[in-house]
Structure 1
């Protein structure tokens, strides 16, 4: 990967790309799992959405970024 990566015509430093996408993916996975679990437990859409938002707030961003940077260093 180059020093910068073009993404939707916005230059992004390559070293920021991996942790940023890792955080996005972790939040998405947490929200999806929480929404599905809440819906399966019988919560309405709004209740399940609240659970999904709470799950995203609980994501350990520091751990996700640390892991993403460590993986980027080894590749």
Structure 2
């Protein structure tokens, strides 16, 4: 499910996150700590904090899933 105001980002836009994801680590941030590209969209829909975790399929990094509050 996506929000009409949401932007699809690339991992390269979020320095350091990709490395954490491929190591199996998630990222949690308050809105003011999030890169501007994503922060603008999250603020539009009232998100104050996020938690994003990696998904692995058969041992290979597949993508991420996240939650915002």
Q: Same fold (TM over 0.5)?
A: no
Q: Which has the higher contact order (CA 8 A, sep 6+)?
A: 1
Interval containing the TM-score (normalised by the shorter chain): under 0.3
TM-score (norm 1): 0.24
Identify, as 1 or 2, the structure richer in strand.
2
Q: Which has the larger radius of gyration?
A: 1
